[in-house]
Amino acid sequence: MLKVDRANYVRNREDAYDDHPQPIGHSQTISAPHMHAHAAQHLLNFLGPGSKVLDVGSGSGYLTAVFHHLVSGEEGGPKGKVVGIEHIPQIVQWSRENIRRDGLGEALDNGEIEIIEGDGRLGSPAGGPYDAIHVGAAPPELPQALIDQLAGPGRMFIPVGKRGSQVVTLVDKDAEGRVRVEDLFGVKYVPLTDSPTDRG
Ligand code: SAH
């Protein structure tokens, strides 16, 4: 996380290092640093050099960049790949600028980081299966498409539930494809929703 400067991923740079969520426009927020840390910590065993990662609701791009540092190995070694999916086009555009400002323009150019505009509930099967999936907004129930795109072994970190009763959930898939679900702790995330254009 020290390799990623949060000041490049917020709207108001003065508050960049506060341990709070911050508005990033369009009624969305960048998560607090401690939540990003929780997510990265729980996924850490699945984030080695060469791993494939899906970041759903990638928002500011902050955690996408953290994942990139964790999976991009040494010169000449296996190169990881991080796919971020975000459905608000202005945030997609802004997050790419953030990632460039943070010094990772080359990773965007060579495809080690890809930010896709789309419905994250459907994932991105083309880039999968993923060793780790992070979901940065809460759906009411576990999306089956994301479970399907998880590698075995693989792990997903996802807040699940309606506003007011969300729980961070770990979904583990083993090498035989068996899925195990574990509830971790209560949280308050923005909802994983229909795209703003669908809502009219
Ligand atoms: N980890 C990000 C979280 C941003 S908030 C960060 O810390 O910056 C969650 C993001 O999920 C918002 O940007 C929101 O636009 C996006 N989102 C909500 N529903 C979505 C969906 N169905 N598909 C893709 N992105 C979605």
Percent of the chain with pLDDT over 70: 98
pTM (predicted TM-score):
0.97
**How far does residue 28's CA lie from ligand 1's centre (Å)?**
7
Query: Has residue 4 been placed in a domain?
Result: no
Asked if residue 160 lies in contact with residue 185, where contact means CB atoms within 8 angstroms, the answer is no
Q: Is the pLDDT of residue 181 over 60?
A: yes
Number of domains in the chain: 1
Pocket of ligand 1 (CB under 6 A): 28-31, 57-60, 62-63, 85-88, 91, 119-121, 136-137, 190, 192-193
Query: Has residue 5 been placed in a domain?
Result: no
Count CB neighbours of 120 within 10 A.
Answer: 27
Q: Is the pLDDT of residue 200 over 70?
A: no
Query: Has residue 21 been placed in a domain?
Result: no
- As annotated, the active-site residues are 31
Residue nearest to atom 17 of ligand 1 (CA): 57
Q: What is the pLDDT of residues 51-81, one digit of tens each?
A: 999 999 999 999 999 999 999 988 888 899 9
**How far does residue 77's CA lie from ligand 1's centre (Å)?**
31
Which residues, other chains included, contact 38 with Cβ-Cβ below 8 Å and sequence gap of 6+?
A: 168
Count CB neighbours of 3 within 10 A.
Answer: 12
Query: Has residue 12 been placed in a domain?
Result: no
The pLDDT assigned to 199 comes to: 54
Q: How far apart are CA 93 and CA 129, in angstroms?
A: 25
**How far does residue 86's CA lie from ligand 1's centre (Å)?**
6
Q: Look up the domain containing 90 and give its range.
A: 31-199
Rounded mean pLDDT of the chain? Answer: 95
Q: What is the CATH number of the domain that holds 142?
A: 3.40.50.150
Cis peptide before 129 (omega within 30 of 0): yes
* pLDDT tier, 198 (very low <50, low <70, confident <90, very high otherwise): low
The pLDDT assigned to 197 comes to: 62
